[in-house]
Structure formats: C-alpha cells, structure tokens
Chains A and B, each alone.
Chain A
Amino acid sequence: MAEVLVLVDHVDGEVKKVTYELLTAARALGEPSAVVVGAPGTAGKVKDSLASYGAAKVYVAESDDANGYLVTPKVDALSAVAEQASPAAVLVAATSEGKEVAGRLAIRLGGGLLVDAVGINSDGSVDQSIFGGAFSVKAKAAKGTPVISVRPGGVEAEAADGAAAEETVSLPAVDAAKSAKITGVEPVVGGDRPELTEASIVVSGGRGVGSAEKFDVIEKLADSLGAAVGASRAAVDSGYYPAQFQVGQTGKTVSPQLYVALGISGAIQHRAGMQTSKTIVAVNKDAEAPIFEIADFGVVGDLFNVAPQLTDEVAKRKG
C-alpha cells in the first residue's frame, strides 16, 4: 500500500490533536507515515501516540537547526522523505505555518497544492468549504504529488494500531541566506483552555458583553464546558478581548462540535468564521439579531442571566 506522509504538528514533543486527525484522514489514501521534525529527542516523546493513531512508520528528522529556522527545515525534511518514499500524498495541518510548509513543498516537488481540506476521499479528491462555509468544493491534484493541508477539526480522529517503525532522515544544513533565523519564541499563554481552532467547544462573546471585565462571564462558561474562548470583531475592536481570539473572516475560522455565541449579533463577517460549526447556540437580547437565523438553539434574553445559569447547570451535571 502506498505511503501517505503526515507532518507531525507538535510543540517541543507535545503532539497536537490535528496530527491524529491527519493520520486518520491519511488512511483513506494509503498507509500513514508520520514525519517528525524537531530538536534531538523529539521522536522518543511522540512515537507512542503516533502509533496509537495508525502511523506505520515514523520518519525522524532531528537536528539542532530544526527549531532554529522558520518553515524551511520542515520543507527540507518532507521533500527528503518524499523523494525516497514516493508517497500517494503529503498531509499537513492547515495552520498558518502548515499552509506555508505545504505551499513551499508543492513548489519543490512540482506537486498539486490543495488547501484547507475538510475531508479526504479514497479517490484522492478532497472536500473544501470556502467563502466562510458558503460554498462546498471538491478538488483534486491534476499532476505531481498531492500536497494537502487539512483544517484542524475538519476530520474526526480515530485511534488505530500502527507499528511506528522508526527511520532516520538526515536534514540538509540550513542555508542561512535563504531562511529566517528564529531568535526567540513567546508561546500563547492560554492557560488550561484548549486552542481556539482545536477546541471541540467554543464559547464566544461579542459587543453585548460590554466590557473587558465582564468577559469573565464568557470565560466561566467556557471553563465549565472545557471550551476555548472566542470573541467577535466588535468585541476585539472595543478592546474587550485580545485579537488572537477573534473569530470571523479576519480572525480564526472554527468548526467545533458546539459554538455558543453570547451577545454576538452575527454579522456576515463573524458568520464566515463559525457557520460550519456542527451545532450553534446563541443568546442575544435582540430578537432580530441575524445570529438567530443560523442558530440551532436560540435564547432571546440577557446573557448575564442566561450564561451564569448555564454555567451552574453544566457544573451540576458534571457533579
């Protein structure tokens, strides 16, 4: 069976959920092989979890430079493995960095680039959801090795047994004239909350929250649900919540199992970032708010009454 390469998305050996989604999606096309790029010792930390999601092989590309330069070490590693393995496809997470890795790799391999897939089919085609979920598209690589970025949350991860047989890949020396050197990293301080694009539940607040202090109500509900916190552009522009949590056309696109919109009117700008969520719950004082047109369950009321009560109910059920 043909190999399908999956770039492992990890932070210092801590594997992100999207990697398991990629390993699951890869099985539609062949046998998943994980490619680990990182500092020496990374593969040892990630190998077991990759095996439990069906990685037959684990290509290990470790070097001190792997974390020292932007994007290019990952492209170098994937292209080196692709040359020897002739994979059926290469899968990368459709994150900011993943999309860049995929783009460069497609140029290097002369491959077909498919961006932000939400599903991969056994005939090699992929499903995409564009214009903020307004259009569904099916596309396929026309020539070369398909290089596919897959949207976090687009495919549900399913465990499977894999041998995770290790193979070492030697990374070429980084050409400093062609790469940007990383001189410092400040990871997102998200506390214990899941990452916005990876979370299965997102609780967002909008202009109706009214102030930065009152976002506390949104956070408490999010924490009771184990959810990520999001914000509308109006809330971010008003300074209620940091911009990295903005959901919408100009922020993050999320498609969680459950999206709870509190005090968000539902402008087209916001809907473009969340309308592919599986279930949408909205709370808004204004019965005419457009968010209710797309909500599976809506409450016309004051979020400061509804949200705390919901927080208590969730806590009660958790015991």
Chain B
Amino acid sequence: MTNIVVLVKQVPDTYSERKLSDSDHTLDRESADAVIDEINERSVEEALKIKEAGEGEVTVLSVGPDRATDAIRKALSMGADKAIHVSDESLHGSDMVATAKVIAAALGKVDSYDLVIAGNEASDGRGGAIPAMLAELLGVPQLTHARQVTVEGTSIKVDRETEDGITHVEASLPAVVSVTEKINEPRYPSFKGIMAAKKKPVETLTVADLGVDAGEVGLGSAWSTVLEASPKPPRTAGQRVEDEGDGGSKVAEYLVGQKLI
C-alpha cells in the first residue's frame, strides 16, 4: 500500500506571452492561458504507475487560485483518486518559503503518505527548490531530479539526473521525489477518465484550515521582495547576409570584428 501525494501547479502556458502585473510585480494570471505544468503530468503519471504496480491511493495537492481546479481536474482525469486544493486570497504574492510551508501544512491534512511526487522545476518561476525545501520542512529524504524511480517495500531508489551527470540515490519512505522530463510519457486522459474526474472528491482548504497564520503568507510577509520589474526591450535583428559561397568567411569576419575570435 503506497499512498502518494502529487504536487500540481497551474502555470501560464509557455507558448503564450507571460507577464508580471504592473501594480505589485506578481504573476499576471489573466494575460496568459493557464495550464497544468507539463512536468506535473509526468509527476501524476509516475504516481499512477507506482500505484498500479501495487496498491495505494494518489492524492493531488495544488496551491493556487480558484481556477487551478482545471489543473486539478486534469490530474484526476488521468487517474488520480482525489484532491486537495488550497485556495486563499491571502496567499497572493507568497514567495517560495511561504509556499513550501503551506504545502507542508497541507500534507498534514492527508491521512498518511509514503511518497510526495513533484516536478523538478515549474516552468514559470523555475525556482527548482520547492521539493528540497519541503523535504527540509518535513524532515524526510529528498530524491530529486529523478529520471527513474523504483519503490521496493519501504525503500526507494532513484536515478537522479542533473548537469553533473547521473547520481544513484536511495532512502527509506516516506520521502519527497521530484521528476525530470525524462521520467516517462504521460498518458492522455480517456473519455471515461474525464467523466469520472468530475465526481472525484476535491477538498478545498483555506490557510486558516491548515492552521497557518494568514500573516505569515502573501506578498506583505514574503521573505523576499521584488523592487522593480520591466519587460526587456526585445532583441532586434542585426546584419543578415545571403550565403554566396562565402557565408562561413563572413561569419568569421564578423566574429573577428566583435573580438569574439
């Protein structure tokens, strides 16, 4: 019996134009299409695979505004059993430290878990540290950037892949895992799955329900503050030439002129 909690984040689609709001420099959620982060489909897939190999339950946990329910439903339609949605106005503008604390508190609302599975890095903030911070708060091992996960009884083995290469790590459960793009190919929700997802239980919790003080989260209480934010002037096209048999030499001349070679 392996009980798994999958962390899911709704993010602005990387194929749309992403912006920060002018007023408080937080993410402008209205400007872009909102989707479940691609990496989280892989997190859900991995959780389902582990469940299907034995026995267990997969709970989706998402912290985000009301419309994050779309991301949650997507995960449920893939086959997760139930969900917890932490949604509270006071969370607006929370930084990574506050977010990690809220997720840790929300995990306290799950009956028991053996494994927490997250994506290695969200495509919007790209902080790449929430799973590690969560492990720190929960006092459990982190097995992050996994491209392969093997659960055997109460122990877990992971092949971690980063710019340093592959590191084989192992620990005992409970543990926090994060997965990379290479972990698996996520399944498409079936029509039956989509219909079933509509009836699956989603528990909505506020910060107060978690026993977290609203004064510890949100923009005003963040451990870090954005002072300024501005769109970068777009790069402009420079010189362009047609290759007339001397294209390589022309590039070389340009690079010499720029003192690059």
The answer to whether B248 and A309 have CB atoms under 8 Å apart is: yes
Main secondary structure of the interface of B (DSSP, over half): mixed
The answer to whether B164 and A187 have CB atoms under 8 Å apart is: yes
Collect the chain B residues with CB atoms within 8 Å of residue A140's CB: 224-225, 227
The answer to whether A294 and B237 have CB atoms under 8 Å apart is: yes
Collect the chain B residues with CB atoms within 8 Å of residue A113's CB: 95-97, 127, 129, 223-224
Q: Please tell me which one of the listed residues B38, B161, B234 contacts residue A244 in the complex, with CB atoms under 8 A apart.
A: B161
Q: How many residues of B contact A (CB 8 A)?
A: 87
Main secondary structure of the interface of A (DSSP, over half): mixed
The answer to whether B100 and A195 have CB atoms under 8 Å apart is: no
Most chain A CB inside 10 Å of its own CB: which residue of B158, B175, B238 = B238
Collect the chain A residues with CB atoms within 8 Å of residue B258's CB: 279
Q: How many residues of A contact B (CB 8 A)?
A: 94
The answer to whether A305 and B248 have CB atoms under 8 Å apart is: yes
Q: Please tell me which one of the listed residues B139, B142, B175 contacts residue A71 in the complex, with CB atoms under 8 A apart.
A: B142
Does chain B have a CB within 8 A of A39? no
Does chain A have a CB within 8 A of B143? yes
Q: Please tell me which one of the listed residues A186, A272, A311, A314 contacts residue B166 in the complex, with CB atoms under 8 A apart.
A: A186
Does chain A have a CB within 8 A of B242? yes
Q: Which residues from chain B sit less than 8 Å from chain A, CB to CB?
A: 14-15, 17-20, 25, 38, 95-97, 100, 120, 123-133, 135-137, 139-145, 157-158, 160-172, 175, 181-182, 222-232, 234-243, 245-252, 254-256, 258, 260-261
Q: Which residues from chain A sit less than 8 Å from chain B, CB to CB?
A: 11, 70-71, 75, 95-97, 99-104, 106-108, 110-116, 125, 129-131, 133-144, 177-188, 195-197, 201, 225, 243-244, 249-250, 252-253, 257-258, 268-269, 272, 275, 279-281, 283, 292-302, 305-314, 317
Contacts A/B (CB < 8 Å), 18 sampled: A70-B160, A96-B128, A100-B132, A100-B142, A103-B128, A106-B97, A131-B124, A136-B228, A180-B141, A180-B175, A183-B157, A183-B169, A250-B123, A299-B241, A299-B243, A299-B247, A305-B245, A305-B247
